[in-house]
Amino acid sequence: MRRLLACFAAVTLIAMTGCGQIAIKRGSGADALAADRASCRAENPDPAAVRACLVAHGWHITDLDAAPAAAPAYPAAAVTQPTPLDAGPAPSPPPVQSVHISDKIHVGGWWHFGGGPADLHTAVDGCVAKLGAGEQPDAGYHTVTRALYTCLSSEGWRSLGS
């Protein structure tokens, strides 16, 4: 129990500081990461080069301190301003421009606490059965539709990398 509390405290501290990286490679542990990182640093000590080298060695890396993706900018004309009460009827708002969002999402891998490849396969089959055959992903589950991504997320699966 004491060990569980220590692990929980460490994870909470890391999450609260919001900095660092998570590096995952199926079948590899901390020793393999340290060895690959040392090898990559020996080739080129630049942090960007080390990251590229680790990715080339099969590691999926997520930066916890990376800035979130910028929100799309909207033209000022699209924001309606309140009108005074005595100004009469409000003018009609400008037409809304549709924003095209790709239906496909590329992920580096999938993770679920306590889940393995067979569990992912079962979850994908269940979501495809709910959503329809048109939502079938590629063979490695690296390219999925937005609907399938949402369904897998609701089942507790999280995407790794991109």
Domain ranges of the chain: 2-63, 104-160
User: What mean pLDDT value characterizes the chain?
Assistant: 76
Which two tokens mark 39? Answer: 């090898």
Q: Which residue has the higher pLDDT, 157 or 3?
A: 157
Structure confidence by residue, pLDDT tens digits, 30-78: 888 889 989 999 999 898 888 888 888 888 877 665 555 555 555 655 5
Crossing angle of the two packed helices 30-43 and 47-56, in degrees rounded to 10: 130
In this structure, the number of other CB atoms found within 10 A of the CB of residue 79 comes to 9
- Specify the pLDDT at position 100: 45
